[in-house]
């Protein structure tokens, strides 16, 4: 059944999917279809993640089925945005794996519970990024927009703002001596231990973040 479902999934779904999510949704739908008939324990972390998304209300069975069989990513993303807020980065979501998926669930629930409080500052940060207007930017370009905005004192200075954006995987920074290719950028979601470099001069907005 599980393997059969893989074969039945829409090509447009597969293009936007990744291993962790793909095994999770396939196993989740398999268990739905075979409920009570088999005891299944394949892909526990992957399947737990899907269960938890549905249980918390970030998406639902019908939306997952539509995503899987028709490739309706827009419909899926709309349910998650409705739950957790419009600014969620689906680029960062696509980096989920068995190691970080539970933390991501906690985070989604947190966003749902406190739609404004912890995010007030982030909305303002995103406004600064929008003001900068380019996917790659320098510290001074960020600083220039920063000085024209009222950040309400939530961040000590523009470096603290850049750090927060980095920690949320919204931006990466060009490593010292990096040539500028994609691999010379440091991203928190790629390396959860990557420290923020306070002296970084060049940054890039995550392509999944729009």
Decide if 90 contacts 210 (C-beta within 8 A): no
Of 23 and 72, which CB lies nearer to Zn ion in the complex structure?
A: 23
Please tell me the number of Cα atoms within 13 Å of 100 on its side-chain side.
15
Of 16 and 208, which CB lies nearer to Zn ion in the complex structure?
A: 16
Residue 184: CB partners within 8 Å, gap ≥ 6? Answer: 174, 175, 178
CB of residue 4 to Zn ion, shortest distance in Å: 10
CB of residue 42 to Zn ion, shortest distance in Å: 8
Binders in 23-52 for Zn ion, by CB under 5 A: 23, 26
Distance CA 189, CA 112 (A): 21
User: The dihedral of CA 172, 176, 179, 183: what is its sign?
Assistant: negative
Of 26 and 59, which CB lies nearer to Zn ion in the complex structure?
A: 26
Of 26 and 79, which CB lies nearer to Zn ion in the complex structure?
A: 26
Intra-chain end-to-end CA distance of the chain, in Å: 37
Candidates 16-24, 48-56, 58-66, 113-121 — which segment interacts with Zn ion by CB under 5 A? 16-24
- Residues in contact with Zn ion, counted by CB under 5 A, come to a total of 2
CB of residue 39 to Zn ion, shortest distance in Å: 18
CB of residue 49 to Zn ion, shortest distance in Å: 14
Token pair 């024209």 in the structure block, residue: 148
Of 42 and 103, which CB lies nearer to Zn ion in the complex structure?
A: 42
Long-range contacts of 63-66 (CB under 8 A, 24+ apart): 64/25, 64/28, 64/29, 65/29
Binders in 69-108 for Zn ion, by CB under 5 A: none
User: The dihedral of CA 118, 121, 126, 129: what is its sign?
Assistant: negative
CB of residue 36 to Zn ion, shortest distance in Å: 21
SS3 207: coil
CB of residue 27 to Zn ion, shortest distance in Å: 7
Of 47 and 162, which CB lies nearer to Zn ion in the complex structure?
A: 47
Chain positions contacting Zn ion, by CB under 5 A: 23, 26
């Amino acid at each position: 059944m599980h393997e059969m479902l893989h074969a039945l999934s829409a090509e447009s779904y597969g293009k936007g999917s990744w291993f962790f999510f793909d095994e999770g949704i396939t196993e989740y739908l398999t268990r739905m279809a075979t409920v009570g008939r088999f005891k299944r324990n394949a892909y526990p972390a992957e399947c737990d993640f899907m269960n938890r998304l549905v249980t918390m209300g970030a998406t639902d069975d019908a939306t997952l089925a539509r995503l899987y069989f028709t490739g309706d990513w827009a419909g899926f993303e709309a349910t998650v945005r409705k739950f957790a807020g419009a600014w969620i980065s689906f680029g960062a979501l696509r980096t989920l794996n068995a190691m970080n998926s539970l933390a991501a669930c906690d985070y989604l629930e947190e966003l749902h519970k406190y739609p404004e409080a912890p995010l007030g500052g982030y909305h303002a940060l995103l406004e600064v990024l929008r003001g900068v207007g380019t996917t790659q930017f320098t510290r001074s370009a960020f600083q220039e927009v920063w000085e024209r905005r009222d950040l309400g004192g939530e961040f000590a200075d523009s470096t603290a703002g850049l750090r927060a954006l980095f920690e949320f995987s919204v931006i990466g920074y060009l490593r010292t001596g990096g040539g500028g290719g994609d691999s010379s950028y440091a991203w928190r979601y790629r390396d959860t231990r990557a420290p923020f470099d306070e002296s970084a001069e060049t940054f890039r907005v995550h392509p999944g973040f729009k």
